[in-house]
Amino acid sequence: MKHFARFAIVALAGAAMLQAAVDPQTARLQVIHNAADPGAALVDIYLDGQLLLNDFGFRQASPYIDAPAETDISVAVAPASSQTVADSIATFDLRLDSGHTYVAVANGVLDPTSFAANPDGKSIAFTIWPKAMAREAASHNDKVEFMVVHGATDAPAVDVHARGGAKLVTGAAYGDMTGYLEVPPAKYILDITPKDDANTLVAAFEADLSGLAGSAAVVFASGFLAPSSNSDGEAFGIFAALPSGDVVEFPALQTARLQVIHNAADPGAASVDIYLDGAMLIDDFAFRAASAYIDAPAGKQITVGVAPDNSSSSADIIADFNLTLTPGETYVAVANGVLDPAGFVANPDGKATAFNIFVKSMTREAAVESDKVEFIVMHGATDAPAVDVIARGVGKLVDKAAYGDITDYLAVPPAAYVLDITPEGDPNTTVATFTADLSSLGGGAAVVFASGFLAPADNQDGEGFGLYVALPDGSVLELPAGSTPVGFTRSNLVTKAGLWVPGTLNLSSGRRAKLTYSIVNPAQVSLALYNMNGRQVAILDRGYRTAGSYAAQLTDSKLLSGQYIVKLQSGSYGESRALRIIK
């Protein structure tokens, strides 16, 4: 590259001097070779019949030099073996304005009939595109400024997005050259998508512009999306030509970051083997365990298989799921649900509870704000209704999360919190309470997931309900259950069924407590009491009931002081309430 740059400067300066006797006026010019035709991998460039660039390689650029202006000039392209301008295969006439700065991009193919046609019907014949008002430096020394050239003959019109930021290029078709874009010097991931289709990724590239403050560049799309249909030419890529003539390749992203969490509470899946494209990924993966983030294949379909923990190969897989990950993106995949939904309590909101993998994109291995803790919340308890999560004394963190929902990221200061789980839209009734000490996690990110069954006895004695936190390194922490506050008021809106409990009961001295429930449709009803380990400790009422209101008495003197759950099951509808007993 250094030899080429020196040669180009000397050659172009010599050509300018030849013109000076006739016309001393000059323009600044950079030439970029972006013609992906293998037959033009090396060319000679002639300026007004004089050799300008010898053996000019594909994806090379000249530095900016002085070129003749205010006069017609002839640029000829010849094979690298040329002896004179008479060997040229294409000639282009240009006229440059004095004092202006230009980029000239050689692009296209020598015989368009031998290559894939452009999907937008653009001509792909070999040509030179001149662009005026080019820049040798940025207008602002604290920014990077660049123009973008769509030079891939078989690629459609595209948009270019800076991941996590704004759309940089809109609807650029082959041959288009944008105006200059201005960005802070930093590292970027550039997503190339079809025009007006942000959900389909063509390719993704990493652009490290962090050391280019004050610089200008020409970013050009180059090569073929389908090399095998284009004489086996070079594959698609993104490159940047600097004013010095140096050309930098933006590396394509081929992998994504992935964390896997096992949250399927079915006792039959307490420990499983995870396969990725038929190869063992995680052996003996336990319920409520998480992997650390790993690099996973991206940009193509992959198959994640789940097998019993005694599996010997992928032939033992009992469920598999096809995923396509976006290169450079970060994901959490949560295995959840039950193997045979008929053997478990139905979800009260009618959500499917069959074993599945829930995928969340744009997850984080660290907080965006270093002074915050950032986390997403997943509702993974199959027999629990939609809930709200309230940080006591702070506010509602999660609104109306039903089974399978995964929230966006929440950011809170690192501190200790009390989290109340309440039925959707009913802040006065607490299903469960947990303490979350996040005081040591400043700058960290996490996945908080609701796990297990509200009623284990009705779900093959699976693990009881709890809240857990998965950290990026694969560590999983259990949030301890906390005490439930007193003074709840009853709900005054009954849609399917209603269960009212007083919040706190004093059962000393043989005192009886009345628990009231109401149903709106005739059904087989069960009203039961469970401890916080999910074990049934009392049946309060059971039988077929017509629509109406009913009362049950709680008198069991053998119950210990502590936290309990009262559960009403009316047909397929279930509702739970927290109850604190003091003796």
Mean pLDDT of 95-118: 95
Mean pLDDT of 279-293: 91
For the chain, give me the number of helices (H) and strands (E)? 1, 43
Q: How far apart are CA 169 and CA 196, in angstroms?
A: 11
Q: How many residues does the chain have?
A: 583
Identify the three-state secondary structure at position 257: strand
If one compares 470 and 581, the residue with the highest pLDDT of the two is 470
User: Are β-strands 416-423 and 562-570 bridged in parallel, bridged antiparallel, or unpaired?
Assistant: unpaired
In order of 149, 328, 347, the CA distances from 354 in angstroms are: 49, 30, 11
The alpha carbon dihedral of 264, 266, 267, 268 has a sign of negative
| pTM score | 0.56
Of 277-281, 492-496, 525-529, the poorest mean pLDDT is in 492-496
pLDDT band at 508 (very low <50, low <70, confident <90, very high): low
Q: What is the pLDDT of residue 156?
A: 95
Of 382-396, 431-445, 458-472, 476-490, the poorest mean pLDDT is in 476-490
Of 306-310, 314-318, 553-557, the poorest mean pLDDT is in 553-557
**Which residue from 525, 528, 582 is spatially nearest to 548, judged by alpha carbons?**
525
Q: How far apart are CA 132 and CA 145, in angstroms?
A: 15
Position 310: which residue type? N
Identify the three-state secondary structure at position 376: strand
Residue 337 has pLDDT above 90, yes or no: yes
Q: What is the pLDDT of residue 44?
A: 94
pLDDT band at 15 (very low <50, low <70, confident <90, very high): very low
Residue 425 has pLDDT above 90, yes or no: no
Residue 26 is inside which H or E element, if any? Answer: strand 26-33
Return left, alpha or beta for 14; rule: phi > 0 is left, psi -120 to 50 is alpha, else beta: alpha
| Per-residue burial over 409-434, b = 16 or more CB atoms within 10 Å of its CB, e = otherwise | bbebebeebbbbbbbeebeebbbbbb
Q: How far apart are CA 354 and CA 348, in angstroms?
A: 14
- The answer to whether residues 563 and 524 touch, using CB atoms and an 8 Å cutoff, is no
Residue 503 has pLDDT above 70, yes or no: no
Residue 489 has pLDDT above 60, yes or no: no
Q: Phi and psi (nearest 5°) for 248? A: -115, 130
Residue 318 DSSP symbol: S
Percent of the chain with pLDDT over 70: 89
The CB-based long-range contact list for 118-123 (8 Å cut-off, 24+ gap) reads 118/153, 118/154, 118/155, 118/174, 119/154, 119/155, 119/156, 120/156, 120/157, 120/173, 120/174, 122/173, 122/174, 122/175, 123/175
pLDDT band at 173 (very low <50, low <70, confident <90, very high): very high
Task: Specify burial of residue 370 (Cβ count, 10 A radius: 0-12, 13-18, 19+).
Answer: exposed
In order of 51, 484, 488, the CA distances from 428 in angstroms are: 85, 11, 5
Mean pLDDT of 520-540: 78
**Which residue from 551, 544, 526 is spatially nearest to 536, judged by alpha carbons?**
526
The contacts of residue 98 (CB under 8 Å, 6+ apart) are: 25, 26, 27, 69, 70
Mean pLDDT of 362-366: 91
pLDDT band at 510 (very low <50, low <70, confident <90, very high): low
Of 25-29, 196-200, 264-268, 322-326, the poorest mean pLDDT is in 196-200
Q: What is the pLDDT of residue 360?
A: 95
pLDDT band at 7 (very low <50, low <70, confident <90, very high): very low
Q: What is the pLDDT of residue 287?
A: 94
First to last CA, the chain: 86
The contacts of residue 336 (CB under 8 Å, 6+ apart) are: 263, 264, 355, 356, 357, 358, 378, 380, 382, 404
Q: What is the pLDDT of residue 428?
A: 80
Mean pLDDT of 70-74: 91
Residue 9 has pLDDT above 90, yes or no: no
User: Are β-strands 294-297 and 301-308 bridged in parallel, bridged antiparallel, or unpaired?
Assistant: unpaired
Q: What is the pLDDT of residue 492?
A: 27
pLDDT band at 547 (very low <50, low <70, confident <90, very high): confident
Q: Phi and psi (nearest 5°) for 18? A: -60, -35
Q: How far apart are CA 280 and CA 421, in angstroms?
A: 37
Of 190-194, 230-234, 406-410, the poorest mean pLDDT is in 190-194
Q: How far apart are CA 482 and CA 329, in angstroms?
A: 36
Percent of the chain with pLDDT over 90: 60
In order of 106, 190, 248, 256, 480, the CA distances from 252 in angstroms are: 23, 9, 12, 12, 44
If one compares 372 and 506, the residue with the highest pLDDT of the two is 372
Q: What is the pLDDT of residue 521?
A: 72
Residue 394 has pLDDT above 60, yes or no: yes
Identify the three-state secondary structure at position 474: coil
pLDDT band at 496 (very low <50, low <70, confident <90, very high): very low
pLDDT band at 253 (very low <50, low <70, confident <90, very high): confident
Q: What is the pLDDT of residue 202?
A: 80
Q: Phi and psi (nearest 5°) for 529? A: -115, 135
Mean pLDDT of 378-392: 93
Q: How far apart are CA 381 and CA 101, in angstroms?
A: 64
Mean pLDDT of 139-159: 96
All structural domains of the chain, each given as residue ranges with its CATH number in brackets, are 1-249 (no CATH), 255-341 (2.60.40), 373-479 (no CATH), 497-582 (2.60.40.2550)
Mean per-residue pLDDT over the chain, rounded: 86
Q: How far apart are CA 372 and CA 364, in angstroms?
A: 13
Q: How far apart are CA 62 and CA 64, in angstroms?
A: 6
Alpha helices in 285-389 (DSSP H): none
